């Protein structure tokens, strides 16, 4: 059985004291593929340092997170884009819209999202989408920019059943994380009619730890708890969930 964490920030400062041990715990726990989304110009080198240490297990993305968008967005995007000529990346991400913390730079967020979608189409890469309090706008932009090469994952999906249906119809996958294990989560109901063939697993470590670690630092080894909960909901085995979601991740990222 092989599990794939399609979205994990293992380069975060929260792992400063035990980073290598934490990655090895994940690998020993059968989480063999770890996809790392970029945040901004400052997270690039820490992310690539980790990829260098674990080249068979850690796979980088490149993009500008919506929460890192500010009045200097054009300069940030210029620096980010240059990296695609330097080495291989497996997706354009983490990109999208976030209206939860602030809408001060909403117009700039939308511009940056659209520009990075264009990069993905040009480079024939999937996108890894952040959509907090903005799912309808994200869906509308994807519909507007529809293209045969436009594909990817709605990271940490937290929408409703209708949004899940729209996303799948667009050819995208839903990233399922620790929220699915929470007692009052509405996510199980939202994905009732969504087949495993359109789902992938993620931790978003160090954030959103699944039960029984809720409130503590998350790590990729905890992906198993998410797989177990999804198996329970879909009335199947953990092995089946691992096989299908890892296959889905391979289809998306190409590795």
Main-chain phi, psi angles of 178, to 5 degrees? -60, -25
Q: What is the pLDDT of residue 64?
A: 98
Q: What is the pLDDT of residue 182?
A: 98
Instruction: Convert the pLDDT of each residue in 133-166 to its tens digit.
Output: 999 999 999 999 999 999 999 999 999 999 999 9
Q: What is the pLDDT of residue 206?
A: 98
Q: How far apart are CA 39 and CA 63, in angstroms?
A: 7
CATH topology of domain 3-253: TIM Barrel (3.20.20)
187: how many CB neighbours lie within 10 A of its CB? Answer: 23
List the domain boundaries for the chain.
Answer: 3-253
If you average pLDDT over every residue of the chain, what do you get?
Answer: 98
232: how many CB neighbours lie within 10 A of its CB? Answer: 14
Instruction: Convert the pLDDT of each residue in 206-242 to its tens digit.
Output: 999 999 999 999 999 999 999 999 999 999 999 999 9
Q: How far apart are CA 101 and CA 158, in angstroms?
A: 16
Q: According to DSSP H, which parts of 43-191 are helical?
A: 44-53, 73-82, 106-123, 135-144, 161-169, 187-190
User: Which stretches does DSSP call E strand in the chain?
Assistant: 3-5, 31-36, 58-60, 92-98, 127-132, 152-154, 173-176, 199-201
**Of 94, 117, 114, 97, residue with least CA distance to 105:** 97
Q: What is the pLDDT of residue 185?
A: 97
**Of 184, 191, 137, residue with least CA distance to 161:** 191
Q: What is the mean pLDDT of residues 189-202?
A: 98
pTM above 0.95, yes or no: yes
* Torsional class of 254: left (φ above 0), alpha (ψ -120 to 50), beta (otherwise): left
Instruction: Convert the pLDDT of each residue in 20-51 to its tens digit.
Output: 999 999 999 999 999 999 999 999 999 999 99
Q: Kindly state the tokens that stand for 211.
A: 């039960």
């Amino acid at each position: 059985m092989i599990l794939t964490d399609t979205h994990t920030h293992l380069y975060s400062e929260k792992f400063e004291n035990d980073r290598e041990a934490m990655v090895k715990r994940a690998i020993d726990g059968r989480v063999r593929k770890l996809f790392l989304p970029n945040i901004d110009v400052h997270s690039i080198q820490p992310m690539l340092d980790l990829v260098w240490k674990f080249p068979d297990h850690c796979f980088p993305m490149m993009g500008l997170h919506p929460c890192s968008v500010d009045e200097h967005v054009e300069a940030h995007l210029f620096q980010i884009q240059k990296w695609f000529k330097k080495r291989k990346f497996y997706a354009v991400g983490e990109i999208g819209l976030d209206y939860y913390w602030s809408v001060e730079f909403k117009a700039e967020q939308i511009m940056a999202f659209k520009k990075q979608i264009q990069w993905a189409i040009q480079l024939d890469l999937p996108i890894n989408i952040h959509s907090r309090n903005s799912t309808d706008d994200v869906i509308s932009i994807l519909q507007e920019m529809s293209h045969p090469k436009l594909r990817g994952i709605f990271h940490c999906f937290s929408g409703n059943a209708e949004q899940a249906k729209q996303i799948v119809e667009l050819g995208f996958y839903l990233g399922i994380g620790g929220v699915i294990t929470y007692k009052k989560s509405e996510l199980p109901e939202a994905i009732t009619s969504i087949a495993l063939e359109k789902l992938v697993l993620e931790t978003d470590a160090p954030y959103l730890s699944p039960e029984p670690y809720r409130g503590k630092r998350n790590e990729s080894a905890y992906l198993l708890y998410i797989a177990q909960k999804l198996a329970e909901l879909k009335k199947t085995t953990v092995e089946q969930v691992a096989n299908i979601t890892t296959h889905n991740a391979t289809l998306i990222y190409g590795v």
